Structure 1
Amino acid sequence: MKERSFQIDVNLKEITKHRTETLPIACYETTISENINGYIPLHWHEEIQLIIVLKGEAVFQINENQRAVKEGDALFINSGCLHMAEEKKGSNCVYICLNVLPHLFLSQELYTTYGYPYVKAPHLSYIFIDGTERWGKSIIESILKVKELLKEKAPFFEIDIVTQLTMIWKKLVSHAFQQNYPKTNTLKNERMKKMLNWIHEHYKEKITLNDIARSGQLSRSECCRYFKRILHTTPVSYITEYRIQKSLLLLLEEEASVTNVAYAVGFNSTSYFIDQFKKVMKITPFVYQQERREES
């Protein structure tokens, strides 16, 4: 049952506060299919994200790169990188997600030398962590230990967590960060963010390709190439799917009609909204509305 809504702001930044009472850290399990969209939408956050796939397989997109991660393997996603996740069809993917602000991995004195250069490296968007490799297995064990420590909250557990995080960082620096991982263009990603931010601020209005291209300081053709290369879709398709994402929660409001919701999210025709909703969600908005209200 799809019941969780992934909250992001107009800048694609995740709204969720990733912290305990004393530490800028959060750890939780995610079942991708339970998200209201059926996948984890494109977003970013200041925290570094460490993921362990517990069940099934998922395809993660990090900036313009894609990486499949199966059960038993893990992934490092760097601070500030755009990312999203979809499960491999029918795998019912479940993963542990550990979000940590970068400065927590190392002391202030060490962070300048061994932390900051990697967190800010334009070419270092992600690291695949092979669970069969000794160093990868060690990182996974440390992530699971952090999860356990957060749950039990024994005396001085915060110190134990920081110890585990430092061990994780040492393994990443010594075994992974030095390798030649796919390079990403910082300017390209910033332009992509600007275009997506503009869409998210104006999705209720009439939007043209010229508007989107202008927001990213690109030509129309370059704009289309950016969307195709990074998001594997067209600007028009992205706008349509984003409007439909926004319609999902509105449809659940009391006395909300399909027509009112269609116009509220930027469609200028109820029939076109129904047609596009059915293509994306494989169900009509009215049936979706009725089924979700019955579940509630």
Structure 2
Amino acid sequence: MKSFQIDQNLKEMTQHRTVDLPMACYETTIHQNIHGYIPLHWHDEIQFVRIIRGEAIFKINEESIVVGEGDGLYINSGCLHMAEEINQSNCVYVCLNVSPYFVLHSEFYNNYVYPYIRATNLPYLFLDSNDFWARNILDAILKIKKLIERKPTLFELDITVHLTFIWQNLMNNGFKLEHNPVEMQKDQRMKQMLNWIHQHYTGKILLDDIAKAGQLSRSECCRYFKRILNTTPLNYVTNYRIQKSSVFLKQTDASVTEVAYQVGFNSTSYFIDKFKKLMDMTPLEYKRLK
């Protein structure tokens, strides 16, 4: 089992780089995560995904996308996303995370990379292996992975060639970029509310508190959570507390009651009921299993 580390802002804490390069390429088996899925997070790096086994549903900002074997995704910098496998397909995907500043030579960044990073209508692109430009990207992902694993002579230079090829094909797909400051503000407010929840989840949380963190009314706050996370603010709080409790149950010797109060529940029976509904087992069963 692997623990997916994120900070209070939902930013992934994993260092996406090798010793020499500001990038990383690795395989991810979704069900091996401690939560059983890849939790909601974001990072500064752009991300390319290629499914090599099974299928998964990726939730990116306000949309859900099913991605099957052989296909993939481009996920833009700063976009909230998560992933769950479908039908216990034992989904495995290759993930290529790259600093936007490393994609092309710095002289080309402002003209050819930055417009994509700031495009508010481009949280992701589906990479359909039937499309020539997308297949080129998907194949290049695997080539980069092999180069990092084998490290042949001058492999760093070969990687930069493949990255340029990837970006050229991304640009050749003809996607029209747009920048809407209002959409950027929505994203920022959502992150502010989630950050506030993650900092205060151990105490009493009211809907008014969450709305205030995002500078929104109660009704608008609820619309944000429904549209982006398909849940209510207070249901998100409960689910987040359950996620945190699963880590404590696995990593500490604390009792179920102690963990319940540690993550903000004021009733052990209520905690057990909510945990069982979300995790399909009681906290004690989960603790013994893990």
1:119 corresponds to 2:121: no
Structure 1 consecutive aligned stretches of length 4 or more whose deviation exceeds 4 Å: none
Q: Is the 1:64–1:184 Cα contact (8 Å) retained in structure 2?
A: no
Q: Is the 1:52–1:75 Cα contact (8 Å) retained in structure 2?
A: yes
Measured against aligned partners, the alpha-carbon deviations of 1:137-175 in whole angstroms (never above 9, x if no partner) come to 111111111000000111111111011000000000111
- Count residues in correspondence: 290
TM-score (norm 2): 0.96
Q: Secondary structure at the match of 1:41?
A: strand
Residues 231 and 184 (structure 1), Cα distance of their counterparts in 2 relative to 1, 3 Å cut: farther
Aligned positions of 1:8-47 closer than 5 A: 8-47=6-45
1:278 corresponds to 2:258: no
Q: Could you list the runs of 5+ residues in structure 2 that have no partner in the other structure?
A: none
Distance 1:44 1:262 in 2: 28
Q: Could you list the runs of 5+ residues in structure 1 that have no partner in the other structure?
A: none
Q: Is the 1:125–1:184 Cα contact (8 Å) retained in structure 2?
A: no
Residue 239 of structure 1 aligns with which residue? Answer: 237
Distance 2:30 2:182 in 1: 26
Q: Secondary structure at the match of 2:73?
A: strand
Identity %: 59
Aligned partner (choices 254, 266, 277) of residue 256 of structure 1? 254
Residue 86 of structure 1 aligns with which residue? Answer: 84
Q: CA RMSD in A?
A: 1.7
Distance 1:77 1:190 in 2: 17
Aligned partner (choices 74, 79, 85) of residue 76 of structure 1? 74
Residue 191 of structure 1 aligns with which residue? Answer: 189
Q: Is the 2:48–2:97 Cα contact (8 Å) retained in structure 1?
A: yes
TM-score (norm 1): 0.94
Q: Is the 2:121–2:177 Cα contact (8 Å) retained in structure 1?
A: no
Residues 265 and 201 (structure 1), Cα distance of their counterparts in 2 relative to 1, 3 Å cut: same
How far the C-alpha of 1:38 sits from its partner, in A, is 1.1
Q: Secondary structure at the match of 1:84?
A: strand
How far the C-alpha of 1:176 sits from its partner, in A, is 4.5
How far the C-alpha of 1:119 sits from its partner, in A, is 1.1
Q: Is the 2:76–2:117 Cα contact (8 Å) retained in structure 1?
A: yes
Q: Secondary structure at the match of 1:283?
A: coil
1:146 corresponds to 2:121: no
Residue 129 of structure 1 aligns with which residue? Answer: 127
Q: Secondary structure at the match of 1:124?
A: coil
